[in-house]
Amino acid sequence: MSHEPTASQRASRKDEHLDLAIRLHGQDRTGAFDDVSFIHHGLPGISAEQVDIGTTVLGSRWEVPFYINAMTGGTRATAAINSDLAEAAADAGVAIACGSQHVALHDPERVDSFSVIRRRAPGAFVLANVGPTVGPEEAMRAVEMLQADALQIHLNAAQEMVMPEGDRDFTGWSEAISAIAAAVTVPVVVKEVGFGLSRRTIGALAHTGVAAVDVAGSGGTDFIAIENERRPRRDLSYLVGWGQPTALCLLESLAVDDPVDLPVLASGGVRNPLDVVRSLALGACAVGASGHFLRTLVKEGPEALRQELHTWSEHVRTLMTLLGAPDVSQLRRTDVLVTGRTAEQARALGVD
Ligand code: FNR
């Protein structure tokens, strides 16, 4: 059963998501990232000046190894958020994704709330965002709307299940992803929305022609919690916490046995520069955060977000220096300890 929402229903949902993502913070579960620690060595042997925090993503050089991940657009309030996010991203040399553009594909008056990102961040690496239910022609329009450098396709089955007006038909997504990847002129990244990509899912995506995956695991923004708040009886609270945490997804992604060897981006529950460095050490080529940057912007203002992005860059450099890693690839050679529940789950999955 599918209930196709109107453009204005979709748009007001965006405002509700923003409010709930901010309000429900603090109910975040303990981070699996805390199960990942580095062995400290007393002779790092390098200086901060030598450290290159840049990374290569989808064939492009990013000066900074973290990015503002997909969130919003479609309404007056979310246009202002996108404008502020984009200005901060441009100032700090950070890549930025927009939220799902479906609402603008159906209603041209809403295009500006997304394209503002490109206007405010003309030189940034910008990612467009659609779900696997759009056709290739719509996907291309989403890319053109932002003159985007890449396209994210979000997999949000768990969210749809809990969304009162959500989709209940998940057939044909792999085929749709292949069709979009074949049609668009920019690289395609398939991402989750906070429930994690499993080894099996990544293995399947490797055959669709996409350029990379973003595991977008649990531990941060929880769309089951958010959508449950929008249900009249809030009767699905028992599903909160569904999915695999980002650290576990990264461990599993290292074990994907596929000749395509898709590059992996990490996001979901990233709280600070140490989580960024942990994710890079576990094989991610770049690391996204949504909830943290959104809360910084909404609670403390645009200048605080700008500062925060610069602080994260500085701290990533400091941590890499401490770890003796002159570049991101060398972080993968650091000595990482995985303990606790994450180690136990990795063992159960046969990826320790
Ligand atoms: C999101 N996220 C998201 N993802 C996506 O691909 N398309 C979208 O439209 C949205 N919308 C959205 C709205 C809001 C308010 C938030 C906070 C998040 C999901 C996001 O990109 C990310 O995968 C998850 O939020 C997990 O990361 P954090 O928030 O734990 O850093």
* Alpha carbon of 9 to ligand 1 centroid (Å): 19
Residue nearest to ligand 1 atom 12, measured at CA: 71
Residue 310 φ/ψ, nearest 5 degrees: -65, -40
Residue nearest to ligand 1 atom 26, measured at CA: 268
**Cα(78)–Cα(332) distance, rounded to whole angstroms?**
37
Instruction: Give me the pLDDT at residue 7, please.
Output: 76
Residue nearest to ligand 1 atom 22, measured at CA: 193
Helix axes 7-23, 291-300, angle to 10 degrees: 80
The full DSSP string for 167-184 is ----TTHHHHHHHHHHH-
- Tens of pLDDT, residue by residue over 301-347, are 999 999 999 999 999 999 999 999 999 999 999 999 999 999 999 99
Q: Is 154 in the pocket of ligand 1 (CB under 6 A)?
A: yes
Q: Is 279 in the pocket of ligand 1 (CB under 6 A)?
A: no
* Alpha carbon of 221 to ligand 1 centroid (Å): 7
Mutate to test the pocket of ligand 1, among 221, 227, 287 (most ligand atoms within 8 A of CB): 221
- Tens of pLDDT, residue by residue over 212-266, are 999 999 999 999 999 999 999 999 999 999 999 999 999 999 988 776 789 999 9
* Alpha carbon of 19 to ligand 1 centroid (Å): 13
pLDDT at 2 over 70: no
Instruction: Give me the pLDDT at residue 149, please.
Output: 98
pLDDT at 125 over 50: yes
Instruction: Give me the pLDDT at residue 232, please.
Output: 94
Instruction: Give me the pLDDT at residue 1, please.
Output: 42
- Residue among 207, 81, 217, 98 at smallest CA distance from 147: 98
Mutate to test the pocket of ligand 1, among 151, 290, 296, 305 (most ligand atoms within 8 A of CB): 290
Q: Is 155 in the pocket of ligand 1 (CB under 6 A)?
A: no
Please count the other Cβ atoms lying within 10 Å of the Cβ belonging to residue 86.
Answer: 23
Q: In degrees, to the nearest 5, what angle opens at C-alpha 232 toward C-alphas 229 and 233?
A: 85
Instruction: Give me the pLDDT at residue 331, please.
Output: 98
Structure token digits, residue 248: 């576990």
Q: Is 187 in the pocket of ligand 1 (CB under 6 A)?
A: no
Name the one residue in this structure whose structure tokens are 């606790």: 340
* Alpha carbon of 333 to ligand 1 centroid (Å): 30
Q: Quick one: residue 154, left, alpha or beta (phi over 0 = left, psi -120 to 50 = alpha)?
A: beta
* Alpha carbon of 231 to ligand 1 centroid (Å): 19
- Residue among 223, 220, 148 at smallest CA distance from 188: 148
Residue nearest to ligand 1 atom 5, measured at CA: 70
Instruction: Give me the pLDDT at residue 29, please.
Output: 57
Instruction: Give me the pLDDT at residue 257, please.
Output: 76
Residue nearest to ligand 1 atom 1, measured at CA: 71
Instruction: Give me the pLDDT at residue 3, please.
Output: 55
The ipTM, to two decimals, is 0.99
* Alpha carbon of 154 to ligand 1 centroid (Å): 9
What are the b/e assignments for 91-126, b being 16+ CB within 10 Å? bbbbbbbbbbbbbbbbeeebbbbbbbbbebbeebbb
- Tens of pLDDT, residue by residue over 134-164, are 999 999 999 999 999 999 999 999 999 999 8
For the whole model, what pTM was predicted?
Answer: 0.97
pLDDT at 28 over 80: no
- Tens of pLDDT, residue by residue over 52-97, are 999 999 999 999 999 999 999 999 999 999 999 999 999 999 999 9
Structure token digits, residue 174: 């792999």
- Model confidence at 26, pLDDT cuts 50, 70, 90, reads low
Mutate to test the pocket of ligand 1, among 15, 66, 71 (most ligand atoms within 8 A of CB): 71
Instruction: Give me the pLDDT at residue 341, please.
Output: 96
* Long-range contacts from 260-263, C-beta under 8 angstroms, 24+ separation: 260/206, 260/207, 261/206, 262/202, 262/205, 262/206, 262/210, 262/211, 262/212, 262/213, 263/57, 263/58, 263/211, 263/212, 263/213
Half-sphere CA count of 220, side-chain side, radius 13 A: 28
pLDDT-above-90 percentage for the chain: 91
Indicate the helix (H) or strand (E) that contains 62: strand 60-62
The maximal CA–CA distance of the chain, rounded, in angstroms, is 61
Please count the other Cβ atoms lying within 10 Å of the Cβ belonging to residue 2.
Answer: 11
Please count the other Cβ atoms lying within 10 Å of the Cβ belonging to residue 330.
Answer: 17
Please, is 148 exposed, middle or buried when counting C-beta atoms within 10 Å of its C-beta (0-12, 13-18, 19+)?
buried
Name the one residue in this structure whose structure tokens are 């453009």: 7
